[in-house]
């Protein structure tokens, strides 16, 4: 199998290059993202491999189909960046549903601890020998109420961590999981009762902007909001208004709804034209990281292994257990 590998970073090659040889696959590593301008580079390949900041729309599906590309291999669990309906009966879509839930959950907790105890600000101060504690006061998490939106594998890992801090955990998910140390409640109750809200749900038509003016209005004053899932779960305009109204004690964002073309890239020498993102980084109680919650050795190895296992199953007519069908987006 010949695979066009879009959005290549140096760390991708560490895992994919040697593994591909073991499977007998030929990979062309392409640094450019996958989009309407670069999709032609897939000509002559059996599959493309893309990451979360690439996209494949209906027009591109038709182009890939004409080029006889058989599959879209996702290096991610989410698939909102691909037009699944347009691909039905044309191109197989295979994802990595679980690589390291603990990696993302642990990172979400690190964001919470950082924005709560201001360790990022303290680090910058002490490097200048400013040892003042003014403005660095946080809150105990012990016995506070944590709300987890989405109780898939990452959400479950987050619940285990929160229980370790002896927090009372509320959860919302339309598909409850039995046996979790959490109490399932409505979205409204979770928003109104939680001292901490952490988002771990996929981006769908139902969850897009689940954090909006109405749900922010339900929240306690001084709430902490953490998002390591998908940027568009949060209405950025509403978030900024809430920050201006001092609704939030702290906000930790590993994702952003307009992150394409910015996250994973070095834009330090450029003027950022996204006014909302530029505004967010000015708030002292907002911490933004570059979609790195997944980025551990264990997770990267698992992503490479599962992605190539998906390709192997397709090539050899084996059951494609990680196939994304149109029913997933209905």
Average pLDDT (123-143) is: 97
The pLDDT score that the predictor gives to residue 40 is: 97
Q: Which residues are catalytically annotated? A: 230, 259, 291
pLDDT band for 328, please (50, 70, 90 cuts): low
Please give the model's pTM, rounded to 2 decimal places.
0.91
DSSP class of residue 89? T
Q: Does 330 have pLDDT greater than 80?
A: no
What residue spans define the domains of the chain?
2-99+296-328, 101-288
pLDDT band for 133, please (50, 70, 90 cuts): very high
Tens digit of each residue's pLDDT (9 = 90 or more) over 259-289:
988 998 899 999 999 999 999 999 999 999 9
CATH topology of domain 101-288: Rossmann fold (3.40.50)
Rounded CA separation 190/26 (Å): 48
Superfamily of domain 2-99+296-328: NAD(P)-binding Rossmann-like Domain (3.40.50.720)
Cα 297-303-304 angle, rounded to 5 deg: 95
Task: Give the chain's mean pLDDT.
Answer: 96
Cα 245-260-215 angle, rounded to 5 deg: 30
Secondary-structure breakdown of the chain: helix, strand, coil percentages, each rounded to the nearest 5: 35, 15, 45
Tens digit of each residue's pLDDT (9 = 90 or more) over 199-239:
999 999 999 999 999 999 999 999 999 999 999 999 999 99
């Amino acid at each position: 199998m010949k695979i066009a590998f879009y959005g290549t970073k140096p760390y991708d090659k560490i895992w994919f290059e040697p593994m591909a040889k073991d499977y007998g696959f030929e990979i062309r590593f392409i640094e450019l993202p996958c989009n309407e301008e670069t999709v032609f580079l897939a000509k002559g390949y059996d599959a493309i491999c893309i990451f979360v900041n690439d996209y494949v729309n209906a027009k591109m599906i038709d182009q890939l189909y004409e080029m006889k590309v058989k599959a879209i291999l996702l290096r991610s669990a989410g698939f909102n960046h691909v037009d699944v309906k347009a691909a039905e009966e044309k191109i197989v879509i295979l994802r990595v549903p679980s690589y390291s839930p603990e990696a993302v959950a642990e990172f979400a907790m690190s964001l919470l601890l950082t924005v709560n105890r201001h360790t990022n600000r303290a680090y910058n101060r002490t490097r200048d020998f400013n040892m003042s504690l003014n403005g660095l006061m946080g809150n105990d998490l012990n016995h506070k109420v944590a709300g987890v939106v989405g109780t898939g594998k990452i959400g479950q890992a987050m619940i285990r961590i929160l229980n370790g801090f002896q927090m009372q955990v509320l959860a919302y998910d339309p598909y409850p999981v039995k046996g979790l140390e959490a109490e399932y409640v409505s979205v409204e109750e979770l928003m109104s009762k939680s001292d901490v809200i952490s988002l771990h749900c996929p981006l769908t038509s139902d969850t897009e902007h689940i954090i909006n003016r109405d749900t922010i209005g339900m929240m306690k004053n001084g709430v902490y909001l953490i998002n390591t899932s998908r940027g568009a779960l949060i209405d950025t305009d509403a978030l900024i208004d809430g920050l201006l109204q001092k609704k939030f004690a702290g906000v930790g964002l590993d994702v952003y709804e307009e992150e394409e073309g910015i996250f994973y890239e070095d834009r330090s020498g450029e003027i950022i034209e996204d006014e909302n993102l530029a505004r967010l980084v000015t708030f002292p109680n907002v911490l933004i990281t570059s979609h790195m919650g997944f980025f551990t050795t264990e997770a990267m190895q698992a992503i490479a292994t599962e992605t190539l296992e998906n390709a192997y199953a397709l090539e050899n007519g084996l059951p494609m257990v990680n196939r994304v069908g149109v029913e997933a987006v209905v």
